[in-house]
Amino acid sequence: MVPLPDGLDKDVDVDVWIPDPYPARAMRIWPHLRRVRLVLSLMAGTEWIPGTVGSHVTICSGRGAHNISTAEWTVGAILSMLKYVPFFMDVQRSGQWKRRFEASANYAVITGDNRPLYPPVMLEELSGKTVLLVGHGAIGKEIERMLAPFSVELLRVARSARTEPKVYAVSELDSLLPLAQVVVLILPLTPESHHLIGSRQIGLMQQGTLLVNAARGPIMDTDALVAALHSGHIRAALDVTDPEPLPEGHPLWSCSNLLLTPHVAGSSPQFGPRSLRNAAGELRRYIAGEPLKNAVQMAT
């Protein structure tokens, strides 16, 4: 393996390229590469690669490298929102113990449940809720595995329907949205999934639904999301946004009922070793003439 400097200023012949995980850096290097036949992405998402390298190059994704870390972020984000962790962080910073009673008022506003409850509601439970998992690839299946101990009712959606386990086609999404209290987006960004969740889909969700996006920002219509958060119809946990990076002063920064992290769900100390092991395995198969496990584009 030969590292290529960010400031590469001469053409080099490369048979197999492992691009920098940051697309901007990788695209600066690409114009100086010649004879590339195989691209091994370290990332599960490869949206920018086909348009950069062309159809004559085989591309493999880093599928599997993000499974555990992204699934853990997703489950952690769900629990954080249902246990009102962002609110209680505000309470901690304020140093006012009595503010804990605001949690009950927050619950009533978020869910629309105005019944007199005693003791006051401080937290919600994940157990027994219906979770709609939009995307049932490797990361989606890992999220499902991690949700199993919480006794949730799981609805699965993928590009096409499957029977074992029961997976609904994405064409049925609108009929499933009203059934869930938690909606998780973990599908690739494609022309078909762009703005899959807009104002109409959000309007179909229950009052207080938790919308979690660990996929790609443009899968949601940001303007529709901001409006729904400001109205109090839903709450959200986002690791990705559109635009990204999210600029200073963007309305999402100040939305209530929102947990926002800056595209870090896949980041852990294990990512580098795991993704390089994936790439090494693909390289061995490529050299041996064996089928590639994570090919997303075969050279034409």
The answer, yes or no, to whether residue 1 has pLDDT greater than 80, is: no
Catalytic site includes residue 192: no
Both tokens of residue 98? 């009595």
For residue 132, being part of any structural domain is answered with: yes
Cα dihedral 228, 232, 233, 234 in deg (nearest 10): 80
Output the pLDDT for position 157. Answer: 98
The answer, yes or no, to whether residue 219 has pLDDT greater than 80, is: yes
Residue span of the structural domain in which 247 resides: 67-83+124-260
The radius of gyration of the chain's CA atoms, rounded to the nearest angstrom, is 22
pLDDT tens, residue by residue, 237-283: 999 999 999 999 999 999 999 999 999 999 999 988 999 999 999 99
How far is the C-alpha of 223 from the C-alpha of 242, rounded, in Å? 10
Both tokens of residue 84? 């009102």
User: Three-state DSSP class for 196?
Assistant: coil
Work out the mean pLDDT of the chain and round it to a whole number. 95
Catalytic site includes residue 244: yes
Output the pLDDT for position 142. Answer: 97
Is 206 found in the same domain as 130?
yes
For residue 26, being part of any structural domain is answered with: yes
Is 251 found in the same domain as 155?
yes
Is 177 found in the same domain as 145?
yes
Is 71 found in the same domain as 60?
no
Catalytic-labelled residue, pool 28, 99, 263, 285: 263
Output the pLDDT for position 44. Answer: 86
For residue 114, being part of any structural domain is answered with: no
Q: Which of 91-100, 110-119, 130-139, 188-197 has the lowest average pLDDT? A: 110-119
For residue 7, being part of any structural domain is answered with: no
pLDDT tens, residue by residue, 147-182: 999 999 999 999 999 998 999 999 999 999 999 999
Is 145 found in the same domain as 57?
no
Is 205 found in the same domain as 152?
yes
The answer, yes or no, to whether residue 187 has pLDDT greater than 80, is: yes
CATH code of the domain covering residue 27? 3.40.50.720
Residues 6+ apart with CB under 8 A from 173: 134, 157, 196, 201
Is 50 found in the same domain as 135?
no
Is 284 found in the same domain as 216?
no
The answer, yes or no, to whether residue 298 has pLDDT greater than 90, is: yes
Instruction: Tell whether the torsion through CA atoms of 206, 207, 208 and 213 is positive or negative.
Output: positive
Is 218 found in the same domain as 77?
yes
Q: Across the strands, what pairs with 157? A: 134, 168
Output the pLDDT for position 141. Answer: 96
How far is the C-alpha of 279 from the C-alpha of 214, rounded, in Å? 23
Catalytic-labelled residue, pool 216, 233, 235, 274: 216
For residue 72, being part of any structural domain is answered with: yes
* Alpha helix (H) residue ranges in 33-151: 49-53, 67-82, 85-94, 102-111, 138-147
Catalytic site includes residue 216: yes
Is 188 found in the same domain as 273?
no
Output the pLDDT for position 72. Answer: 98
For residue 140, being part of any structural domain is answered with: yes
Catalytic-labelled residue, pool 244, 277, 284, 290: 244
Is 58 found in the same domain as 28?
yes
Is 290 found in the same domain as 158?
no
Output the pLDDT for position 6. Answer: 81
User: Three-state DSSP class for 235?
Assistant: strand
Q: State the total domains in the chain.
A: 2
Split at pLDDT 50, 70, 90, the class of 97 is very high
Q: What share of the chain is helix, strand, coil (3-state, %, to 5)?
A: 40, 15, 45
User: Three-state DSSP class for 67?
Assistant: helix
How far is the C-alpha of 175 from the C-alpha of 280, rounded, in Å? 43
